Amino acid sequence: MLIAKFTVATACAMLVLARASGVQARERRKPAFDPKTIPAGWVRIPAKGQTFTFGQQFEGKRWTYTFPAHPVTFTYDLIMSATQVTQDEYLKTTGANPTLHPGDLKRPIDNVSWYDAVVYCNTLSKRDGLDPVYSYKSVTGTAAAGITALEDFHYDLKKNGYRLMTSAEYEYVVRAGTTTTWFFGGDDADQDQAKDYAWCDRNAAGETHPVGLLKPNAYGVHDINGNLWMWCDDWYDEGPYPSDAQTDPTGPATGMQKIARGGAFKNDVYHERSAYHWQWRPSDHNYEVGFRIARTAPSVR
């Protein structure tokens, strides 16, 4: 009888411990996107159900395809970091700081490939108990030496983990409801206003600067233009945009180069037009390219 009582008591104690462990595990796993709670330093982008005109055809030298302009609609909201990923954040997450702009860890991380940025996003997702957006079998290179390839790469934007922005998302955020050439103005007479919002050839003195020092745009995003070009998810297609309306576009299925947006400290204001982008190979490491991170609201995708 004593043995039976001991067995029951032990079973009860084990059940309590198991439940406690489960609670602790759930507490360690951070919750998925909560539209009512935006992390500090992040902003919510109201995109669900919104349509904007993506692209613009510029007069004179083409440089890169940003036309024809066409309607793009989103079926989801987005949250994103209000600033570019800093050297300090990259160092704490990867243990490396490959910057070519040393001197202040609050400067944005540069000299990182598109692959470096993707691995960084997945590392954060796993740390925070989120579903990684990107999948791959193996990694060529290291954060310190530079990542140059990912084997058997796939991605799923329906996942709730951290990721890069699509090119359409980036332009939507840059514009923040505006339809002018720059979100701060519509013609050449407005160019000098760039100094209030973007580190460029007019104010940067040939160097990057700590993030968040200049004014944000209407969505509360700092350095959406300038300081560094920002890697985007999309492949670049050497040809015009589709002319038809699109919903949640993610760009071509394949390509040789990845799009980057926003312009950099060394560029003139024309490189920081809302519709403008450039492109590099995903394995490239460049002193004028960095990245920023976002997340999709999974409940509405």
CB 32 within 8 A of CB 160: yes
How much of the chain, in percent, has pLDDT values that exceed 90? 76
The CATH code of domain 33-300 reads: 3.90.1580.10
Model pLDDT, residue 239: 87
pLDDT tens for residues 202-250?
A: 999 999 999 999 999 999 999 999 999 999 999 999 888 999 999 999 9
Pull the structure tokens for residue 229. 């070009």
pLDDT of residue 207: 98
DSSP per position, 87-108 = HHHHHHHHS----SS-S-TTSB
**What is the rounded average pLDDT of the residues 141-152?**
98
pLDDT at 69: 93
pLDDT tens profile 231-244: 999 999 988 899 99
Predicted confidence at residue 70, as pLDDT, reads 96
Query: What pLDDT is recorded for position 61?
Result: 54
Listed by start position, the domains of the chain span: 1-30, 33-300
**Can you read off the two tokens belonging to residue 301?**
């995708």
Low-confidence winner among 10-19, 46-55, 57-66, 194-203 (lowest mean pLDDT) = 10-19
Model pTM above 0.75 = yes
Better-predicted residue by pLDDT, 24 or 268: 268
Does the structure show a pLDDT above 90 at 74? Answer: yes
Which pLDDT belongs to residue 139? 98
How many Å apart are CA 63 and CA 272, to the nearest integer? 13
What pLDDT does residue 158 have? Answer: 86
Distances (CA, A) of 223 to 9, 100, 157, 182, 268: 61, 19, 24, 13, 15
Q: Is the pLDDT of residue 101 over 60?
A: yes
Q: What is the pLDDT of residue 301?
A: 38
Report pLDDT for 189.
61
What tens digit of pLDDT does each residue of 53-72 get? 999 987 765 557 889 999 99
